[in-house]
Each structure stands twice: as structure tokens, then as C-alpha cells.
């Protein structure tokens, strides 16, 4: 039996992504971003994002079909992000997927955006050994997962109790006077700074925190610590060393993210681990996690940076796994769920 050919639609935030995947082979991955429209607001504006999806979805679909060199009638199913994400943005993608599925008379699969960040690794490194651990780190989510099946076996072991890592990057960039989005600009600034210049706190790593939040994250206190340090320097009339602050902040984030990931693997006896989500493209995080996993004897899988950010390929890849697992298609009247938990892969 040939591998499933799945078209995936992603519209959970500010990227309109269409991906086409056959098995673990990526045929097309077209993305239109509305990031430039949000920069002047310092963050994603839901209404602006929704309108951008409306304008982009058809041209992006046409580009993906042309790139894959297929006819839409050939696809075996339509996978689409049903959540989590911005409600208005999700509705645009879900509506497009329903229209396509109805027109083509193909099954619809409303899937989980976060699980897509796990599945996308298969497009680069092939089938994932099970069980494995995963770290999903983005602007809205920071989670440690135990995975026994991508289609129906994802357990959230730990998560952030306040700010997500990507959110902390954006807020620290803003207080340093750096542009949005904060992740890439802080990564670049950190490359010119000293990560040991300032010791910022590592949230939820004290002994009393570990008893209750061993695998959880917290970045709100780190953000506040950076803010107070910068304020103190400014009040004293000293120039703020932006590169050193960026490097020290980034080191604190990468340190706690990787330490808890390694601890997860040791606790559960996991020998395979992957990282996904937009912040997974961060250079220091990728390097430190690789070093620590190697020391722990754990195989680390890291999708290339272009597959870490939101895209349709990850949704198509997840759709393939759902089809291969024999799960029933979604009903045509499913609704978007902005708070969909990662444990629910298929709606």
C-alpha cells in the first residue's frame, strides 16, 4: 500500500502555511507570514492576523500544489490545525480545509498544532524511535512531553506555569529597546555578548520548587529580574550593555530548558529526544541541548530551523501519522479550539 498523500493547512497565529507530504517525504511547504504587519504593535494582533490569512490562503495553496506537482484530486485527506491558537486565525484555516474536503470529497482531519511540531521531525530524520521525550518551546507554549505514539500517545509531563519562553524573549527585547519578534534579535545580540556577565535566576530549580514543579518552567521571574537590573543601571546613569544582557538572559533560558529536558530523560529512561517549536531555532538552545544530551547518552533530533516555526508541512506530517494509525476522520462540523491540550491530537 502506498504512503498517504496529505495536504496540511496551518493558520494558528501569523503564518499561513500549506504543506503537502507523502509518507515522510516533503513535497511542498509554502508559507506566507503577516509578521511585518504586527511589528509596529509589538506583538500579534488577532484581527490583523485573521485578515492576512483570508488574503493568503488561496495563493499559498496554489503555490504548494504547483511546487508538489500534483492534482488536488490525488490527495488522500486534508489535515488542518484545529487548535490551539488564535480563534479567529484558526477559523480561517479550518473553514478553508472544510471547503476543500467537501469539494474534493476527501476526509478531514482536525489536528493539534503542538503535536505537529513533534511530527515534523519525521520529514527530516524518518520514523521516530519510541518511546521518546520532546521539548516544545515557542511564543505561546513551553512543554515537556513523553511520546509513545505521535497519533495517540502524547503525555504532557511539564509545562510553563506563567510566561512561555518565546513570550519572555519578546518582553525582554522590548525593555532593551530591540524590535519584535524578540527571539531572533536577542539571539543575534547574544552572539556579541558575554553569557556570564550577569547571573539571572533559573526559575523553578530550587530544591523546594523541584518537589512540586520538577518538570515545569517559569520565566516570569527571569523577565522581572532582567527588568530590575536594567532599571538599576539606568538610574545609576550607566549605559546598559545590551549584548551582555541578551547573552546572560539567553543563557538562563537555555540552561533551565535543557537541564529539565535531560532530567526528564533520566527519570523516564528515555534514549531519544526531540525539540520543536519556534524557539527551537535558537542557536544557543540547540547547541547546549545537543551537548547535554550527548553527555547523557541520549540521541537528540533537531529539525532544521525552517521546520521549527509554524508551517503546513508539520500539519500534513501529523495527518499522515493519524491516517496510518487508522484513526477516524473528523466530522465536518468540528469547531476550532483555542485551548486544545496537546494530549488530544485529533479533534
Instruction: Point out the annotated binding site for Fe cation.
Output: 113, 117, 310
Cite the annotated binding site for substrate by residue number: 136-140, 170, 183, 187, 282
Beta bridge partner(s), residue 79: 8, 109
Q: Are 329 and 109 a contacting pair, CB within 8 Å?
A: yes
Cell of 48: 490583523
SS3 127: coil
Which distant-in-sequence residues (6+ apart) come within 8 Å of 64 by Cβ?
Answer: 7, 18, 19, 20, 28, 29, 30, 312
SS3 78: strand
Cell of 18: 500549506
Q: Are 32 and 61 a contacting pair, CB within 8 Å?
A: no
CA distance linking residue 142 with residue 279, whole number of Å: 9
Q: What is the DSSP string of 171-222?
A: HHHHHTTPPSSHHHHHHHHHTTS-TTSS----TT-SHHHHHHHTT-B--HHH
CA distance linking residue 264 with residue 99, whole number of Å: 42
Cite the annotated binding site by residue number: 113, 117, 136-140, 170, 183, 187, 282, 310
H helices of the chain, where?
Answer: 35-38, 46-68, 87-104, 113-119, 122-125, 165-175, 182-190, 207-213, 220-235, 242-268, 283-295, 305-308, 312-324
Amino acid at each position: 500500500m502506498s504512503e498517504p498523500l496529505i495536504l496540511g493547512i496551518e493558520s494558528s497565529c501569523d503564518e499561513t502555511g500549506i504543506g503537502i507530504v507523502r509518507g515522510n517525504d516533503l513535497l511542498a511547504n509554502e508559507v506566507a507570514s503577516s509578521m511585518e504587519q504586527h511589528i509596529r504593535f509589538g506583538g500579534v494582533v488577532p484581527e490583523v492576523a485573521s485578515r492576512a490569512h483570508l488574503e493568503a490562503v488561496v495563493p499559498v495553496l496554489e503555490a504548494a500544489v504547483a511546487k508538489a506537482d500534483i492534482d488536488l484530486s490525488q490527495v488522500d485527506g486534508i489535515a488542518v490545525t484545529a487548535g490551539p491558537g488564535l480563534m479567529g486565525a484558526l477559523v480561517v484555516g479550518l473553514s478553508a480545509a472544510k471547503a476543500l474536503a467537501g469539494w474534493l470529497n476527501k476526509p478531514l482531519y482536525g489536528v493539534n498544532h503542538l503535536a505537529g511540531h513533534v511530527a515534523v521531525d519525521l520529514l527530516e530524520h524518518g520514523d521516530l524511535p519510541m518511546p521518546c521525550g520532546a521539548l516544545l518551546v515557542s511564543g505561546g507554549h513551553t512543554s515537556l512531553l513523553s511520546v509513545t505514539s505521535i497519533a495517540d500517545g502524547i503525555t504532557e509531563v511539564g509545562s510553563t506555569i506563567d510566561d512561555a519562553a518565546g513570550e519572555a524573549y519578546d518582553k525582554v527585547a522590548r525593555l532593551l529597546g530591540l524590535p519584535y519578534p524578540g527571539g531572533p534579535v536577542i539571539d543575534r545580540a547574544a552572539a556579541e555578548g558575554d553569557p556570564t556577565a550577569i547571573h539571572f535566576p533559573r526559575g523553578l530549580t530550587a530544591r523546594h520548587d523541584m518537589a512540586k514543579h520538577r518538570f515545569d518552567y517559569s520565566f516570569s521571574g527571569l523577565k522581572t529580574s532582567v527588568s530590575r537590573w536594567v532599571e538599576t543601571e539606568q538610574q545609576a546613569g550607566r549605559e546598559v550593555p545590551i549584548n551582555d544582557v541578551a547573552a546572560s538572559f539567553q543563557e538562563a533560558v537555555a540552561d533551565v530548558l535543557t537541564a529539565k529536558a535531560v532530567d526528564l530523560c533520566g527519570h523516564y529512561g528515555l534514549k531519544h529526544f526531540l525539540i520543536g517549536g519556534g524557539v527551537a531555532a535558537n542557536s544557543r538552545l540547540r547547541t547546549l541541548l545537543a551537548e547535554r544530551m550527548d553527555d547523557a547518552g541520549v540521541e537528540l533530533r533537531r529539525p532544521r530551523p525552517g521546520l521549527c516555526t509554524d508551517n503546513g508541512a508539520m500539519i500534513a506530517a501529523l495527518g499522515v501519522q493519524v491516517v496510518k494509525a487508522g484513526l477516524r476522520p473528523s466530522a465536518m462540523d468540528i469547531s476550532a479550539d483555542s485551548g486544545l491540550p496537546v494530549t488530544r491530537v485529533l479533534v
